[in-house]
Amino acid sequence: MIIGNWDGRSTYRCGRRKYWLDRSRQRLVRLTGEEKVRHNAVETLMQEYGYPSSWIHTEIPLQDGSGQRADILVKPAKAQCALMVVECKKQGVSLTVAHEEQAFGYCTATGARYMALTNGRAVKAWMMDHYRHSKTPVDELPHFGQLNMEQCQCGLGQLADQPYSSGGESAHLLSSGTFSDPDATEPAGRLHELIGSNSAVFTEPFEWRGHTFMEDMGIGTRPLGRIRGCWWDGGYRSVLVLSPEGDAYVVRFKVGRSDRDHVSYLYVVVSVGTRNHCALASFLDDSSQVDAMRELMEIGSGSQFLADLAVEAIGRHVRRS
């Protein structure tokens, strides 16, 4: 396995900093140190080995109670075990026996059949034997097109290209009955349906008011913590947007209830790296705002309505930065 350099093809900038889009975490990750190695390894698995992005998961917490996270886990939805684990180290760091044991532990926890260890230049790979608790060096990891026989041997079941819900997390959508104002349920329900749709809201690339909506990443399931008094445990939609200046942002939409004032909002969050800035919070329990929102939704399509909110949120974020 040779890790390619994909920095020029698939990275973005915001200000003076360079980021890569981690679709597993649905966020822009600053391209430094170990993250650069991880970015290139993920791109190699997709571009050279043919794995769909929905199979590749990064920073996945292990289910053994250790609190450790696997750098890269290749695993289809509903599989009985992972296919492979890739452990990444910073460029220039020598690969040691301790690093091998670390990756071996991740394979044991996830049931992965293959494991690899890389510092971006050197790559070591092994095939696992979980019955004998041993590993055998291999020259190459399997390509996606070679998995017909592997799926029978690994017990992977049907290899469906579906999103993987990390850590057993699932998207949570409020029912219309959670809204205190009965008049607010109609637009709120429509917003839930729009944001929580399994199909993409934006046809990519979608141009709107000088901004380019590069990628609709669908429903997020990874917890983001507490934002503007609302716990973001899932059920939000994430979209990659480029401003007219070429800066990249992840914009997130969610309808949720604030635990501060116990009312419902449509939240629009602008994210760069690990920072999540709630730029808009439309009050869904106020009849005047709901009427205005209903009118806007009637004028444009769902994508145009959300695009307007995203552009406004990015503008507010830039002015406050």
Nearest Cα to Cα of residue 95 among 72, 112, 120, 74: 120
- Mean pLDDT value across residues 304-311: 93
Question: Which residue has better confidence, 169 or 228?
Answer: 228
Question: Which residue has better confidence, 300 or 196?
Answer: 196
Tell me the CATH architecture of domain 11-167: Alpha-Beta Complex (3.90)
pLDDT given at position 172: 31
pLDDT given at position 3: 80
CB 114 within 8 A of CB 125: yes
196-205 pLDDT tens trace: 888 899 887 8
Cα 290 to Cα 246, 263, 268: the distances in Å are 33, 13, 16
pTM for the full predicted model: 0.83
Question: Which residue has better confidence, 262 or 214?
Answer: 214
- Tokens (6 digits) for 57: 């998961």
Peptide bond connecting 137 to the previous residue in cis, omega within 30 degrees of 0: no
Between helices 185-195 and 302-320, what is the axis angle to 10°? 90
CB 186 within 8 A of CB 106: no
- Mean pLDDT value across residues 107-131: 93
pLDDT at 167 over 50: no
- Tokens (6 digits) for 29: 């990750």
65-76 pLDDT tens trace: 677 899 999 998
Q: Which residue has the tokens 């026996």?
A: 97
Q: What is the dihedral of CA 113, 119, 124, 128, to 10 degrees?
A: -20
How many CB atoms are closer than 10 A to CB 127? 15
CATH 3.90.1570.30 domain position(s) in the chain: 11-167
- Mean pLDDT value across residues 2-14: 84
